Structure 1
C-alpha cells in the first residue's frame, strides 16, 4: 500500500480568507493567554487551546479544552498554599471535583497522525507518558496498531453504508430493467408514428442501472436515441476549432449545400446557422414527452406512474412503481467515428454545441481494471456517488468526475482489494481536493479536457472548501457516511 500524503489546506480564495481568520483568532488567543499567565505552562496551554480547532476539529478542540481547564484547575488548587483549616478542606473538595471533571472525558477524538506536521505528544510527568485511566502508557505509542484500528473502524462504516444505502437486490435490478425496456419500446413506437420522416436509429438502454452503478433510492437508466445522419451531408467540427475552443465539445456542420440544398436531409429542420442544433432537437423531444404522449395510459398498463419532468432543460421521466423508483433520461446522440456526442448536460451560451460523452469508455475501463485485480473501484464509485448526490455542494460533481478521479488514482495505486476500500475512498476524496484547488480535473481519455471547466470559481470554492473540512474531521465516516 502506498503511503498517503498528508492532506494540506487548499488555496481557494474564499477558504484562504477563512483560514486566515482562524489563524488570526488563534494568534490573538495566544497573545491574550500570555498576558493572563506569563508562566511557561500557561503559554503552552493557551497556544494549544487557540490552535486546537485547526488541528483537531471542533469536537477535538472541545474535548481538549475541557481536559486542559481541568488540569490547570487541578494544578492551581494543588500548588496554592492554604491559609487555614477551612481552606484545606475546600481545597481537597476542589481537587476531587477536578478529578471528576477529568473522568468525564471518556473518549479522545480520532486524529490521523499522518495529517499532522508534528506527532501528537502525550502529557509527560517525571519522564513517563500519562494515561487518563491507568496513569501510565508505554514510552512508545503503538502508532501502527492505532492506525490499523482506525482504518478498520472506517472500513466497517463504509461497508455498512454500502449495505444500507447503496446495494440493490437482484430482483429490483431485474424489475427496473424490464420496466425501462417496456417504456423504451412504447417511446420508440410513438416516435415512428409521430415523426416517420425522421430517421431515428434503434433506441437502446444504457446508464447506471445497466452497469450496476446504482443507488437504492432510485435506479437510473438512459434511453440512447441515435440520430441517423447522412455521412455525405454532415461533418463533425472538433471543439478546439470552434468559437468555444474546447475539445470537450463538437459541432455538426451541414455540408454539400451546392449539390444538396437545404431540405435534402430530414434533419435540416434542426439546422441553426449552418450547424445541427442540439437545442432545437431537445425542444422538439421535450414537447413530445410533455404534451404528446399519453403517459397515464402507458403507466396504467405497466402498473406504474410515469411523469415527465417539466423543466425544458431536461429530457427526463420519473417512474414510480410499488417496488422501485426509476429515473429515465432520453439522450439523443450523434456518433461520428469513435466519438459519441450528446446535448450538453449544463447550460452553455452556444446552442449548436454537442458534448463529447466518455461514459462507455469510463465504465469499460473501471470494469476491466476490477477484473484484472479483483478490485473495488466500482464499489468505491457507488459509495461516493450516493454521498455526493445527497450533499448541497458536492452534488455539482457528477459520477463522471468521480470516475475519472478513480481512474487517475489507479495509475499510481495498485491495492484495490476489498480490505482497502476505506483507504481508497478517502484517497479519492483527497485527490479531488487537490484537483479542485487548481481548478482542473483532466479527462482520463483526453488530458486537454478539463472536467471542471463548466463550474464557476465560486462553485469550485464551495465544493473544495466543504470537502476539505469534511476530510479534516477526526472521523471521516462521521462527516461523510453518517
Structure 2
C-alpha cells in the first residue's frame, strides 16, 4: 500500500520521510500514530489520554503487529506515555486547610522536576542512575573475581604442573568500566601457551567455513617436530587444535575436580560451577551481604598467535570442534578509549547509556555491547563533535543509525567489514527492534522509562 499523500504533506511528515523506507511503509492506522506524535502539545490532558488509548486500539487492530508479537511492547510504552501525560497536568492548588509553609510532598516535587527537565537532562540523569555503577560495587566484584582466579590458578599448577598456561587475568566490561545496570558478570582469561614455531593461525576467510571470525589453529612442521613435542598435540583433530577438546580438558580439571565447598568457606561466598552450559561458567552467591543476586564468572580458554586473539567460545562456534573465535573486543574498546582521550569525547558514556537502555528494554535486549560499540565507532568516522554538550544529540543519532542498519539487516564490524554483526538475527528480531527504535525517534523518553 502506498503512502497517504496527506500524511506525507503533514507538517510532521517531513521528519519521518528522512527515516529508512522499511519503517515508512505502514498501514494508514499506523500513520495515524505518527500523525498524533507530530501534533503540538496544546491539547488538553484529558484529550491526550483519550488519544493514547485510541492509538492503543489502532495498534492492537494491526494483524502484522499481532503476528510479530510487538503489540505488547507498544502497550507498555503507551501506558508509560499516559502516565507521563498525567505528570504534565497542572498541579491543583492546595486546599484551604492550614499547612506548614515548608510542606512540599516528595511526590509533588518529583512531578515538578519531571515537567521542567529537558531530554538532555533526563538522559544525563539516566546515565548517572542506571548506566553507571558505583566504584565500590565494581571494586568488590573485581576483587572477588581475582580471588577466584588465584585459587583456580594455584589448583591447576599443583594438579597439572605440565599444562603450559599463562597467568589468569580479568577481562571484559567489568575491567574496562563498561558494565551497566549492575555488576553481575566477569570474564577470566586462561592463556594457553602455544609454541609459535609449531602452531599457526588460519584466518576464517582462508578456511572452507568462509566465516571471517571463525579461525583454525594448524599444527606446523610435523616432519621435523612430530606429534608429542607440544603438550597441546593431544588435542589435535585432523591436524588442527580442537577448541572443544581444550575446553573439555580445562573443564574437567577445574569444574569437576576443584573442592568448591572448601573454596566457598575460604571466600565467604558460595561458589559453584554452572552445569549444562556450553561455557565454563561459575555462579557466585552472596557477593555482598546486602545482595542476594548471582554473580557469574566465565572462564575463557584463549590463544594468542601474532596479532590474533582466539577464544574457545562454543556457544558461538557451535558444533565445529576445531574452530576458534577471533575476538575483536580489545581492539574495539581500545579504539573507543583512544578517541575519547584525543578529544575529551563522550563516546564511552554514549555506549554505556545505550547498553543500559537495551538491557532494560525487552524489545532491544538482543542488541549487545559489540553491536552498540561498533555502531558508535562507525559514527565516529563521520561525526567529529563528541563534546559534553553534544551527548544527547549523539545518543539520538545512534538510534537513527541503528534503524538504518536494521533496515538493511547488516551491521559491519568496524575492524572486519566483511563480518555482519546482525547475522544471527531473525526477521522477527529485526522487526521488533526496528519498530521500538522507530517509535523512539519521536518519543525518545520511552527508552528512559
- TM-score normalised over the length of structure 1: 0.69
1:356 paired residue number:
326
Q: What is the CA deviation profile of residues 305-339 of structure 1, one whole-angstrom value per residue up to 9, with x for unaligned ones?
A: 22322233122223231256633221111111111
Matched, 1:220 2:174: no
SS, match of residue 291 in structure 1: coil
- The equivalences for 1:81-480 within 5 A come to 104-105=46-47, 153-320=118-285, 321-322=287-288, 326-344=295-313, 345-453=315-423, 455-458=424-427, 460-472=429-441, 474-478=442-446, 480=447
Superposition CA RMSD, Å? 3.1
Counterpart CA distance in 1 for 2:402 and 2:241 is 35
Change (3 A) 1:169 1:8: same
Match of 1:8 in 2: 19
Per the TM alignment, residue 349 of structure 1 is displaced from its structure 2 partner at its CA by: 4.1
Q: What do the CA deviations read for 1:400-419 (whole angstroms, capped 9, x no partner)? A: 11111101101111222222
1:120 equivalent in structure 2: none
Structure 2 unmatched ranges of 5 or more: 1-14, 53-89, 91-113
Residues 70-81 of structure 1: pairs in structure 2 closer than 5 A: none
CA distance in 2, matches of 1:393, 1:295: 38
Q: CA deviation at 1:301?
A: 1.5
SS at match of 1:317: strand
Quote the offset at 1:103 in angstroms: 7.3
Alpha-carbon separation, structure 1, partners of 2:390 and 2:17: 18
Q: Cα gap change, 1:333/1:196 in structure 2, threshold over 3 Å: closer, same or farther?
A: same
- How many residue pairs align between the two structures? 368
Counterpart contact for 1:208–1:219, Cα < 8 Å? no
Name the structure 1 match of 2:72: none
Segments of 5+ residues of structure 1 without an aligned counterpart are 27-49, 68-101, 110-132, 134-148
The aligned counterpart of 1:37 is none
1:289 Cα offset (Å): 4.3
Question: What's the CA shift string for 1:113-145, capped at 9, x where partnerless?
Answer: xxxxxxxxxxxxxxxxxxxx9xxxxxxxxxxxx
1:262/1:158 Cα in 2 relative to 1: closer, same or farther (>3 Å)? same
Q: 1:287 to 1:161 in 2, by over 3 A?
A: farther
2:56 matched residue in structure 1: none
SS at match of 1:346: helix
Q: Deviations over 1:82-112 (max 9, x none)?
A: xxxxxxxxxxxxxxxxxxxx67337999xxx
CA contact (8 A) 2:20 2:407 kept: no
Structure number with greater Rg is 1
Task: Measure the CA separation in 2 of the matches of 1:389 and 1:347.
Answer: 24
Instruction: For residue 396 of structure 1, give the secondary structure of its aligned residue in structure 2.
Output: coil
d(CA) in 1 for partners of 2:396 and 2:209? 35
Deviation for aligned residue 1:241: 0.8
Quick one: structure 1 residues 397 and 365, their matched pair in 2 at CA, closer, same or farther if it must change by over 3 Å? Answer: same
Superposition TM-score, scaled by structure 2 size? 0.74
1:52 aligned onto 2:17: no
Equivalent pair of 2:309/2:326 in contact (CA under 8 Å): yes
Shift of the 187–393 alpha-carbon distance from structure 1 to 2, 3 Å rule, reads farther
Residues 1:375 and 1:276: Cα distance change in structure 2 (over 3 Å): same
Distance 2:238 2:16 in 1: 51
1:94 is aligned to none
